[in-house]
Amino acid sequence: MPTNRQWRLAARPVGLPDKSIWQWTETAAIDPKEGEVQVRIHELSLDPAMRGWINEGKSYVPPVGIGEVMRALGLGEVAVSRHPNFAPGDWVTGIFGLQDYATAPAAGLNKIDLRVQPLEVWLHALGMTGMTAYFGFLDVCDPKPGETVVVSGAAGAVGSLVGQIAKIKGCRAIGIAGGKDKCSYLVSKLGFDAAIDYKTEDVRAALETHCPKGVDCYFDNVGGAILEAVMANLALHARISFCGAISQYNDPDGVTGPRNYRQLLVRRSRVQGFIVFDYAARYGEAVREMMGWLKSGQLKSRVDVRQGLENFPDVFLKLFSGENNGKLILKII
Ligand SMILES: NC(=O)c1ccc[n+]([C@@H]2O[C@H](COP(=O)([O-])OP(=O)(O)OC[C@H]3O[C@@H](n4cnc5c(N)ncnc54)[C@H](OP(=O)(O)O)[C@@H]3O)[C@@H](O)[C@H]2O)c1
């Protein structure tokens, strides 16, 4: 059996997850049992959600246990199959973990077709990230043509897709992102109507300028002060899709804001949280539509591919420093 390199959780983090919380191990890859498949992982999806999965306590999935291989979505090639629906050489995605080889029940695997779109797109627009943007925006915000849509984390994996889908649906799209380069990319390459650099601009004032009739839909990836600034600019009957709160994930003092939540009452608006996995039964519908938009060029998938399983602890932190440009992927082969 080949050697399987792995990152395991060694301790729970306080604040930013530094290197000390991870443990590197090397073991023999596990032979699949009847009904299982062994996958040689090629690429791993690095997601802000992984920060939540290593906290103690109740969430939408159980926390990764101390000593366990760190949970991660990935993409790879079937190496050994003991299930009739999978054969060596098939390409699949699944929750594989931070390792070279995953041995998993066939039921958790999705076959993908690399003739349709390249590897990385299956981890981005056609993967969990794309499903998050599609359902979290269209289902939760229910946008109408002509409405003003604001998205935070706009240059990131989910946010960049949300803004583009808003344009496809005939809305005005305003992105909020960190830095001049990310903001000009949103407008010049992805077709956003405007972008606000939260690192140098007064977000609340900039929203008043760009959204004179108020914000009809807000897709929130970051929470905190930016959420508060958007809540101060809501249109009547606004819809907020609560996707994530990355500005809060590493704050050991807990969540701050929004202090002006009363605006929801004044503007007769609603906030709805969602978890992408709840839409699993409808992924096919989203994949078909997103594939069409990718083919027609209406939707662009920007990926940021870094190399080497051994570099995971440093690469993961780029999600929190904002050094990633688009979907952050770790290529391990
Ligand atoms: N509800 C669900 O089912 C679901 C599923 C997937 C993802 N999510 C959530 O969606 C959000 C985006 O995830 P993603 O995969 O697309 O990651 P991403 O946006 O590609 O990467 C994270 C980005 O967050 C921004 N950021 C980091 N710290 C920040 C801070 N303190 N304030 C403001 N922005 C900050 C950075 O961009 P800047 O350079 O612009 O700061 C960074 O590039 C996350 O909150 C994630 O947890 C939710």
**Mean pLDDT, the chain, integer:** 97
Ligand 1-lining residues (CB < 6 angstroms): 47-49, 129, 132, 153, 155-159, 177-179, 182, 221-222, 243-244, 246-247, 274-276, 319-320, 322, 324, 328
Atom of ligand 1 nearest to the CA of 248: 31
Are 11 and 2 in contact by the 8 Å Cβ rule? The answer is: no
Angle between helices 283-296 and 128-141 (to 10 degrees): 100
- Given a cut of 80, whether residue 60 has pLDDT beyond it is yes
Are 271 and 300 in contact by the 8 Å Cβ rule? The answer is: no
What is the rounded CA–CA span in Å between residue 51 and residue 67? Answer: 16
Are 93 and 72 in contact by the 8 Å Cβ rule? The answer is: no
**Rounded percentage of the chain residues whose pLDDT exceeds 70:** 100
Pairing of strands 172-177, 194-197: parallel
Atom of ligand 1 nearest to the CA of 154: 40
pLDDT in tens, 193-247: 999 999 999 999 999 999 999 999 999 999 999 999 999 999 999 999 999 999 9
- Given a cut of 80, whether residue 254 has pLDDT beyond it is no
pLDDT in tens, 89-140: 999 999 999 999 999 999 999 999 999 999 999 999 999 999 999 999 999 9
**Would you call 138 exposed, middle or buried from its count of C-beta atoms within 10 A (0-12, 13-18, 19+)?**
middle
Centre of ligand 1 from the C-alpha of residue 162, in Å: 12
Angle between helices 203-210 and 224-231 (to 10 degrees): 40
What is the rounded CA–CA span in Å between residue 247 and residue 224? Answer: 6
pLDDT of residue 225: 96
Average the pLDDT over 313-331 and give the result. 98
Centre of ligand 1 from the C-alpha of residue 65, in Å: 24
What would the two tokens of residue 75 be? 């993409």
Q: What one-letter code names the amino acid at 193?
A: D
Choose which residue among 59, 184, 218, 222 to substitute to test ligand 1 binding: the one with the highest number of ligand atoms within 8 A of its C-beta: 222
Centre of ligand 1 from the C-alpha of residue 236, in Å: 27
Are 192 and 174 in contact by the 8 Å Cβ rule? The answer is: yes
